[in-house]
Amino acid sequence: KAGVTQTPRYLIKTRGQQVTLSCSPISGHRSVSWYQQTPGQGLQFLFEYFSETQRNKGNFPGRFSGRQFSNSRSEMNVSTLELGDSALYLCASSLGAGGQETQYFGPGTRLLVL
């Protein structure tokens, strides 16, 4: 089975711009979770989608949003980028129905905001 894929892998943006990141889960997985990883804060949860519905949301400002499509692919969007948004953005997929299943991570998108 193919693993979780994320595009793009690297991105450079300037402050004030917006960005959209994409995640394709493992075939058959219906849950996609998004995390932000920085050296200072570690891995922090952004949100989770299951069957096109946001089931859980972390403590991030409204500039961070996401969605999930009927084929379980997910996108996250960050508007009005700030320098502090520079991070590795990871998505993880799981079977999802119970909410307790193992999550498998994609390779991540490394975002640099200048």
One symbol per residue from 78 to 107: x for binding other proteins (CB under 8 A), - otherwise; what is it?
Answer: ----------x-x-x-x-x-xxxxxxxxxx
Strands (E), 9-105: 10-13, 19-24, 31-38, 42-50, 53-57, 64-68, 74-78, 87-94, 104-105
Site residues for other proteins, 1-30, by CB under 8 A, read none
Say how many C-beta atoms besides its own lie within 10 A of residue 16's C-beta.
10
Give, in order, the Cα–Cα distances in Å from 4 to each of 39, 51, 74, 81. Answer: 23, 17, 11, 25
**Residue ranges in 36-55 that form contacts with other proteins under rule CB under 8 A:** 42-43, 45, 48, 50, 55
Binding of other proteins by 66 (CB under 8 A): no
Q: Where does this chain bind other proteins (CB under 8 A)?
A: 31, 33, 35, 42-43, 45, 48, 50, 55-56, 58, 88, 90, 92, 94, 96, 98-108
